[in-house]
Structures are given as structure tokens and as C-alpha cells.
């Protein structure tokens, strides 16, 4: 049996079928009008305490933390919602999320925490992926000392002046505030800025390969990918994840993200599989298409040097994410979830950290080498 076919399948399996699931009930799509800026989508992930929203033109959010009850108020000036107020309620310390047309020219998003809880304003992070796409990460709500977490009377909790937050891109910034007034067609990433896009495969209803003991590819590659991105950020390289949680994501938006931010390199992370009757098959494969050859070799060698994984070679393949990306791109199959050796190691978080370290080191070596040319 030709094993290469398996990785091809895990890349391309069923994605069009899942396409309709991309738009979960909390994601709204509104047809853009001719002049006003429209909100295109928003999604609050309660598990990650993360709000994402996008607009059809650039926007500079304004935010404040208001007390009694504690709520984060995010205004999008110049943005039209185009429909009536929507509210979602949750169990737990984050109680609700609502979106409404605040006034004629402002869409307002409000995330409210449960009575007796508050948010550390210093730990609320706004990140402009592009002027049109923002991610807001909330810290875990903390109980207000000496206050019941179930009932709060306004009399004992007098209103406090709102804390004004300054949403801006986290360092190194992708969004230049000056560029927001006239959003260019391409996101304003200065020439020479290195942007690495890390793409953990599969997600949501698509588990990817399923191996020994039900070990799922989607979870392994998300963990490794997130660690790679974190290591790169620590080293001062801007890294973006195509997915940061367990969500369905088609191949096309993964590529689009890399193209939109004009990524320097694109690294897709997958795990391999073969029949469960072949537990003796383990090993690392790294794939590229055209310009990714050197990047593939560098990452592959970096992994072999420190993880002790079997070497199954660097190969070419016409995977969608490799063919459709215009920058050097590679797809790393970190090991076989059906392999006795690989499955045991990939189940181990410290091995996954080791793998992520090696991938990040390979990317950094490649970037350093190509920067000198």
C-alpha cells in the first residue's frame, strides 16, 4: 500500500462536505452594502473566552470596562449591524454576549460577567489581525473580594467610572493605526516583516486521522501548532494560527489567511495514519510543493535531530494548502497515530513540546538563512 496516499487523504478528505458547518449559529453573515461599513461576522468562543469579529472595511474599535454589572463594551464606530439586537447567554462567570446597533453609526458588542465578578482590564487583549479582523481575548473573570457572587445590589456596589481600554494590535503590531483611516486592499504589513502562519490540520467535526486508543490527529496537531506559534512569538517572530481551537476550518480559508497577511512562510501540521493492523509503521514525513523545498529540509532535519522519530523522508505532494499558497509552504506529518511508537509519544505532552521546539527551531533557522541573502 502506498502510504503517501494516506496523507493526501487526511488533507483533502471530506472538506467540502463540512463547508456548511463553518457557519455555526453564532456566526452571522450580512451582505455588504455599497457605502456603510458592515459587520461581516462575529463569534464568541466561551471556552477560550475569545471574541472574533470582522468587518468589510477597516475599523478601529473603542472599548471600555464598565462596572455594575462588570461588562466589556466594544464600540465599532462607523459600522452598521443591519439587524436587531442579538444576545447569547452562558452558564459560568461570563454571563452573556450581545451585539446591537448602539446609534446610527455605531455597532456595540457587550460581554457581561456574572454579578460579583470582574475582569482585569490589563489582561484584556485586542489583536488586529487585519484592520478588518479583530480578536479580543478575555482573562478569566475573578470574584470581587467580599462580594457575593450571586446577588449584587447597586446600593452596595456604587457605579465606578468606566475604564477606557486602548485596543491596538499586540506587539509586533500587524495593524498600523495610521493605516486604518484608509484601509488599503492588502493588510498593512510593512515590507520585511516576517509573518509565519502555522496551520494545525482538521478540527471540529473532522478529527483527521484516528489511531491507537482513539488518538485523534486534530488535537495533537492543535497542541503542537499552538506551541510552535508561542515559541516563535517568544523569539520575536510574528506567528499566526489558522485555528487556535477545535473548530472546523476548510482548506480555502487557511490559504486565504496566509495570502491576506502576506505570510513569509506557511507551515501546516498534520499526523499520519495507516491501517490499525500496521502498528509497526511510524515516522516523520515532510511535504512541500515547489518553493518549499529548503524550508521542508530544514524543519525535517531539526525534528530528526532532537525527537528520535523515524525518518520517512522529505517528499513533494500536490496538497491543496501547498499548491495554493504563494509563499514557501510545507506540510509536516509529525508521526503516525496508528504507529505503536509514534502514538505513544504523540500522546505525551512533553514529546509534543519537543516536537514543537524542533519545528520552531527549523523555521527560525530557515528565516535566518534566507534573511541573509
| Binding segment (CB under 5 A) for Zn ion, from list 103-111, 181-189, 265-273, 277-285 | 265-273
Residue closer to Zn ion (CB basis): 61 or 201:
201
- Segment interacting with Zn ion (CB under 5 A) among 154-162, 163-171, 269-277, 311-319: 269-277
Task: Give the interface segment with Zn ion, choosing from 94-102, 185-193, 201-209, 354-362 (CB under 5 A).
Answer: 201-209
Binding mask 334-373 for Zn ion (x = CB under 5 A): ----------------------------------------
Residue 85: DSSP 8-state: -
Joined grid coordinates for residue 332: 509536516
Q: Are 62 and 168 in contact (CB under 8 A)?
A: no
Determine, following the binding rule CB under 5 A, whether residue 203 of this chain makes contact with Zn ion. Answer: no
Q: Can you read off the three cell numbers belonging to residue 128?
A: 488586529
Is 8 or 68 the residue whose CB approaches Zn ion more closely? 8
Q: How many residues bind Zn ion (CB under 5 A)?
A: 4
Task: Please say which residue, 136 or 222, places its beta carbon nearer to Zn ion.
Answer: 222
Q: Which stretch binds Zn ion (CB under 5 A): 75-83, 100-108, 200-208, 249-257?
A: 200-208
Long-range contacts of 120-125 (CB under 8 A, 24+ apart): 121/65, 121/163, 121/165, 124/63, 124/65, 124/72, 124/165, 125/170
| Nearest distance from C-beta of residue 202 to Zn ion, angstroms | 6
For CA atoms 227, 233, 234, 237, the dihedral sign is positive
Q: What is the three-class DSSP state of 208?
A: coil
CB of 268 to Zn ion, least distance (A): 8
* CA gap 179, 196 in Å, rounded: 22
At its nearest, how many Å lie between Zn ion and the CB of residue 135? 25
In whole angstroms, the minimum distance from the beta carbon of 241 to Zn ion comes to 16
Closest to Zn ion by CB, 101 or 347: 347
Applying CB under 5 A, among 201, 292, 328, 335 the residue interacting with Zn ion is: 201
Enclosing H/E stretch for 1: none
CB of 243 to Zn ion, least distance (A): 13
Q: Where are the alpha helices (DSSP H) in the chain?
A: 4-12, 15-18, 217-234, 251-260, 293-307, 320-323, 340-346, 349-371
Three cell numbers at 79? 459600522
Q: What is the 3-state secondary structure (H, E, C) of 116-185?
A: CEECCHHHCEEEEEECCEEEEECCCCEECCCCCCCCCCHHHCCCCCCEEECCCCCCCCCCCHHHHCCCCC
333 is catalytic: yes
CB of 220 to Zn ion, least distance (A): 10
> Per CB under 5 A, which of residues 205..244 are in contact with Zn ion?
208
* Pairwise CA distance, residues 228 & 238, whole Å: 11
* Contacting range for Zn ion; rule: CB under 5 A; set: 24-32, 199-207, 339-347, 359-367: 199-207
Q: What single DSSP character describes residue 271?
A: E
Instruction: Write the DSSP symbol of residue 205.
Output: T
**Stretch of residues binding Zn ion (CB under 5 A), selected from 75-83, 193-201, 261-269, 347-355:** 193-201
Smallest distance, Zn ion to C-beta of residue 87, A: 37
Binding residues for Zn ion restricted to 288-307, rule: CB under 5 A: none
> Which of 127, 243, 270, 345 touches Zn ion (CB under 5 A)?
270
Q: Cis check for the bond before 172: say yes or no (omega within 30 of 0).
A: yes
Residue nearest to Zn ion (CB): 10
Alpha-carbon distance 330 to 346, whole Å?
20
32/207 with CB nearer Zn ion: 207
Judged by beta carbon, residue 65 or residue 271, the one nearer Zn ion is: 271
**128 lies in the site for Zn ion, by CB under 5 A:** no
> What contacts 307, CB < 8 A, 6 or more positions away?
284, 345, 351, 354, 355, 358
Q: How far is the CB of 174 from Zn ion (least distance, A)?
A: 28
Q: Which of 10, 63, 99, 215 binds Zn ion (CB under 5 A)?
A: 10
Return the active site residues. Answer: 333
Question: Which residues contact Zn ion by CB under 5 A?
Answer: 10, 201, 208, 270
Amino acid at each position: 500500500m502506498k502510504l503517501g496516499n494516506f496523507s493526501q487523504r487526511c488533507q483533502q478528505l471530506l472538506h467540502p462536505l463540512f463547508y456548511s458547518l463553518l457557519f455555526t449559529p453564532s456566526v452571522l453573515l450580512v451582505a455588504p452594502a455599497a457605502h456603510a461599513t458592515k459587520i461581516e461576522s462575529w463569534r464568541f468562543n466561551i471556552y477560550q473566552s475569545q471574541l472574533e469579529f470582522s468587518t468589510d472595511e477597516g475599523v478601529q474599535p473603542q472599548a471600555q470596562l464598565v462596572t455594575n454589572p462588570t461588562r466589556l463594551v466594544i464600540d465599532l464606530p462607523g459600522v452598521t449591524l443591519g439587524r436587531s439586537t442579538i444576545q447569547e447567554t452562558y452558564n459560568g462567570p461570563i454571563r452573556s454576549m450581545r451585539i446591537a446597533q448602539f446609534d446610527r453609526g455605531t455597532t456595540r458588542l457587550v460581554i457581561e460577567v456574572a454579578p460579583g465578578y470582574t475582569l482585569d482590564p490589563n489582561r484584556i487583549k485586542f489583536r488586529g489581525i487585519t484592520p478588518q479582523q479583530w480578536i479580543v481575548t478575555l482573562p478569566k473573570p475573578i470574584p470581587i473580594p467580599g462580594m457575593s457572587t450571586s446577588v449584587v445590589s447597586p446600593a452596595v456596589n456604587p457605579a465606578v467610572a468606566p475604564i477606557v481600554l486602548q485596543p491596538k494590535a499586540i506587539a509586533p503590531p500587524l495593524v498600523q493605526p495610521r493605516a486604518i483611516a484608509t484601509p488599503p486592499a492588502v493588510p498593512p504589513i510593512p515590507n520585511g516583516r516576517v509573518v509565519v502562519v502555522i496551520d494545525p490540520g482538521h478540527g471540529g467535526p473532522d478529527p483527521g486521522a484516528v489511531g491507537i486508543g482513539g488518538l485523534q490527529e486534530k488535537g495533537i496537531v492543535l497542541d503542537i501548532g499552538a506551541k510552535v506559534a508561542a515559541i516563535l512569538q517568544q523569539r520575536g517572530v510574528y506567528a499566526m494560527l489558522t485555528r487556535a481551537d477545535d473548530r472546523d476550518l476548510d482548506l480555502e480559508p487557511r490559504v486565504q489567511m496566509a495570502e491576506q497577511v502576506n505570510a513569509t512562510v506557511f507551515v501546516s501540521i498534520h499526523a499520519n495514519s495507516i491501517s490499525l493492523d500496521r502498528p509497526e509503521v511510524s515516522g516523520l514525513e515532510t511535504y512541500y510543493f515547489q518553493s518549499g523545498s529548503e524550508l521542508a529540509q530544514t524543519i525535517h532535519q531539526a525534528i530528526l535531530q532532537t525527537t528520535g522519530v523515524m525518518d520517512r523522508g522529505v517528499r513533494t505532494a500536490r496538497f491543496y494548502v501547498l499548491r495554493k499558497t504563494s509563499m514557501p509552504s510545507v506540510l509536516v506529518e509529525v508521526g503516525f497515530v496508528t504507529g505503536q511508537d509514534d502514538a505513544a509519544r504523540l500522546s505525551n505532552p512533553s514529546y509534543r513540546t519537543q516536537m514543537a521546539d524542533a519545528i520552531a527551531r527549523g523555521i527560525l533557522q530557515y528565516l535566518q538563512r534566507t534573511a541573509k541573502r
